[in-house]
Amino acid sequence: MPTLRSRLLSWLLLAGGAAVGALSAAVAYLVASGITSALSLSLLVAAAAFLAGGSRAMRPAARRIAPGRPRRFALAAAGAAGLAFVLLSALSILADRLAPAPGPAGPAVLRALRSGTVPLRTVRAGSGFDDLRPLETVLRGRRIVALGEASHGTSEFFRMKHRMLEFLVREMGFAHFAMELSPEDGQVIDAYIHGAPTDPRRVLYWPWATTEVMEMIEWMRAYNAERGSAPGLTFHGIDPLSGDRDPVMAANVSRLLARAGPEARVVLWAHNGHISRGPGWMGSYLKREFGDQAYLLGFELDHGRFTSHMSTVRTYGVAPAPPAYYAHALAQLDAPILFLDFRTMERVPALRAWLREPRSSHELQELHAVYRLRPAWHTLHTPWPELYDGMIFVEESTPAAGLRD
């Protein structure tokens, strides 16, 4: 008769086998996600790897527990462990979906949104500035305009940020541009936009190695070549690419403005997370030092496709936003691009209440192959005014074009 110690050892071996199966499944999922963006196929490969690796690793325990049929027992145990994991994951996702959330915006809010937001005509640079004129009042007196992005792989975000840079440089006197890029790489690009025969493509890694970013850099070079008496445009890399990135990025922005003088103004480019005033993010440090002289402008989408990077760059889909999302209401306004200034909007009680609800927004970034497994991992529930000063909404996202596509 098996002793207690023998039983414990058998069950420890069984648990160890399940852990080996889980590791096999994780590796298989990551490999499959590098080959295809189809979630169902990646999960199928992971499940097969779990059954194969887990059942093999569980056989030493199975020989102790069921000596007459160890292979069948090991396979059944691996299947039961996998099913338990799937059920726990499903319950976790279901709990997220059943958690209390704001309902869809009512007719009064939609009416207020139609009059309280600014429709923009296009994301394409070189299209004139008539539709951007309302932004002059909002952005006048700012030394920092930080442009975010809800995804690192949306063409419309990149092109709209190029258009915003053109507007801020030509119409509002901004002469510095800082990006989520290393200072050393920033120097290579700065030399290029000042006419040096360097190749910025060699320092543009994902997500900046895109046609859209390269077109913006070419515009900066052309602007500097033909600017006449206007101030030259300078490119700065502010990202140390280290663990303590956000306070260092904020310090780099502060340092470049101090060096450039009290009239200097800078346009920043980074992910929504970095430019937000959430605790610990770059935007929180900038707000602490510069107050209202820093304007934090997030970017959001409703639906479409975008690129993300893990071992390779893949394209992923985004379904139309559910009613609890800010984007759900904005998508009903028949304006594919909108500018929202929260200080202006909060003067309207209906809009203030809508903005201050804990509505959801997208937070899509690297490693989406993993983050897509659970909505909570790529969704924010913080009211927008707690994070940003304004928002540019683009209804449909299309994938950014890689330089080697």
CA distance 143 to 112: 30
Question: What pLDDT was estimated at residue 152?
Answer: 93
Are 194 and 242 within one domain?
yes
Q: Is residue 286 part of a domain?
A: yes
Same domain? For 93 and 163 the reply is: no
* Structural domain for 47, as ranges: 4-98
Q: What is the pLDDT of residue 56?
A: 79
Q: Is the pTM of this model over 0.95?
A: no
Is residue 405 situated within a structural domain? Answer: no
Q: Is 402 within a domain?
A: no
pLDDT score of 92? 74
Q: Which of these three, 40, 66, 98, is where a domain ends?
A: 98
287 and 230, same structural domain?
yes
Residues 236, 375: one domain? yes
- List the CATH number of the domain containing 294: 3.40.1660.10
Quick one: pLDDT at residue 61?
Answer: 65
In this structure, are 286 and 312 located in the same domain?
yes
Last residue of a domain, one of 98, 115, 139: 98
- Judge if 84 and 111 occupy the same domain: no
Q: Which pLDDT does position 6 carry in this prediction?
A: 74
The domain boundary, picked from 47, 70, 98, lies at: 98
Looking at the fold, whether 84 and 153 belong to one and the same domain comes out as no
Query: Number of folded domains in the chain?
Result: 2
Residues 89 and 120 in one domain: no
One domain, residues 116 and 244? yes
Identify whether 295 is part of a domain: yes
Token pair for residue 67? 């000596």
Domain assignment present for 347? yes
Say yes or no: 299 and 357 in one domain. yes
Q: Is residue 404 part of a domain?
A: no
- Classify residue 218: in a domain, yes or no: yes
Please check whether residues 297 and 176 belong to one and the same domain: yes
Per-residue pLDDT 10s for the chain (405 aa) are: 467 777 677 777 777 877 887 888 888 888 888 888 888 888 888 888 887 877 777 777 667 677 777 777 767 777 777 777 777 777 777 777 777 788 899 999 999 999 999 999 999 999 999 999 999 999 999 999 999 999 999 999 999 999 999 999 999 999 999 999 999 999 999 999 999 999 999 999 999 999 999 999 999 999 999 988 878 999 999 999 888 999 999 999 999 999 999 999 999 999 999 999 999 999 999 999 999 999 999 999 999 999 999 888 999 999 999 999 999 999 999 899 999 999 999 999 999 999 999 999 999 988 898 888 888 888 999 999 999 999 999 999 999 999 875
Same domain? 278 vs 132: yes
